[in-house]
A = this chain, B = another copy of it.
Amino acid sequence: MINYNVDKKGFYGNFGGAFVPEMLYPNLNELALNYVRISKSKSFKKKFNQLLKDYVGRPTPLYFAQSLSEKFKCKVYLKREDLCHTGAHKINNTIGQILLAKELGKKRIIAETGAGQHGVATATVCALLGFKCIIYMGEVDIKRQSPNVARMKMLGAEVRPAKSGSRTLKDATNEAIRDWISNPVDTHYIIGSVVGPHPFPDMVARFQSVIGYETVNQLNELENKSKPDYVIACVGGGSNAAGIFYPFLNDEDVKIICVEAAGKGVNTGKSAATSILGKEGIIHGSKTLLMQTNDGQITEPYSISAGLDYPGIGPMHANLYKSGRGEFISVTDKKAMEWGLLLSQMEGIIPAIETAHAFAILDQKKFKKNDIIVFNCSGRGDKDLDTFIEYFKL
């Protein structure tokens, strides 16, 4: 049997590793040596699970979407990460990492953010546990996700604009890494997706795996089955996808679909469909698929959704793609926006634009009548209202 989890050296097949300057070695080594042990310890698990329950609001429901199911003639379930405190799955990971940082004696937290959901989730847990918090965010994203910037400030975090490159998520990540290089002792860097150097991809996937494990329990309760036929998630870096895929990774009965942002169209030069447009390379310390020039310069991706606007994908997903274990579909801005509106009006759930991409595959795939399709409804659209309003002239 093929194993789609991380190996001992931090690789998923040919992807992963920690391609970082020596300055980051001590931090990453400290994490790599300790994350499994700490996160499996009884006291950690108790605190983690308690905060997920009493603070985040877990378990999130697995909601049977009646109207969608009728329209698309299959059983559509939504895993409601949009109901998490702060509005997306991101907080599962930040709770895990902040507890880890506390265990490791860190005092200061940095993070990068694209859509702002990870920034808000990080600022939130820092407020909760009394950490100093600095969030790097691309200047472009600061503009298009202003409600989340406001939230971070309310929560007492400092938001530092990343002004280099495309001034989006990639550049915010560079800035965060530079900060970590400059502050290696007291600072923990909470990466917001399953990207970056080992052990981040695996660590984040483990913290997010609660999404998948809850789904298993809920399917047992609702359908008397422990696995769906399909699990579907949007992929920016890939953390919400990794979280819901986790229990099913090595069970090929369960089909996995990753939905990427095609932006204005895969071949328009304005896209973030990494699996199709990317080649193997190194980004942010990880060997993976990324969008780059022939010369190896990382290119500027484009998507209407700030959370998918990243030129790489996590190494787990690169491996799912190359191995054929996962199906990758890309969805344009236009389709995603339409699905945002459709989901709002059919189910009364306004999704994040990131999340809306996932649902758009309902138009493209044919399912069987009894197929159980689980979508990760990764976040809510409150942060995207301005974009929706402007797009649809509401």
Contacts and interface: CB of A to CB of B under 8 A. Distances in A.
A89 to B, nearest CB: 14
B128 A348 contact: yes
Interface centre among A84, A154, A156 (most CB of B within 10 A): A154
A155 B61 contact: no
B389 A128 contact: no
Interface stretch (A167-175, A309-317, A338-346): A338-346
Contacts of A386: 150
B85 A57 contact: no
A344 B127 contact: yes
Nearest to A347: B128
A382 interface: yes
A152 to B, nearest CB: 9
A147 B147 contact: yes
Contacts of A130: 67
A284 interface: no
Contacts of A341: 154
Contacts of A153: 389, 394
Contact of A57 (B55, B80, B123): B80
Interface residues of A, number: 46
A124 interface: yes
A156 B341 CA distance: 9
A32 to B, nearest CB: 28
Contacts of A61: 53-55, 57
Given A147-B385, A382-B147, A345 B155 contact: yes
Report the copy number of this chain in the oligomer. 2
Interface in A61-99: 61-64, 67, 80, 82-85, 87
Nearest to A344: B154
A127 B345 contact: yes
Contacts of A150: 385-386, 388-389, 394
Contact of A344 (B84, B156, B385): B156
Contact of A154 (B67, B84, B381): B381
Contacts of A156: 344-345
A219 to B, nearest CB: 13
A350 interface: yes
Contacts of A60: 57
Contacts of A348: 55, 123-128, 155
Given A128-B347, A154-B385, 4 more contacts: A55-B61, A80-B85, A83-B83, A156-B345
26 contacts: A54-B64, A55-B61, A55-B63, A57-B57, A57-B80, A57-B83, A80-B85, A83-B85, A87-B382, A124-B348, A124-B349, A126-B348, A127-B344, A128-B348, A147-B147, A147-B382, A150-B386, A150-B389, A151-B350, A151-B385, A154-B341, A154-B381, A154-B385, A154-B388, A155-B344, A156-B345
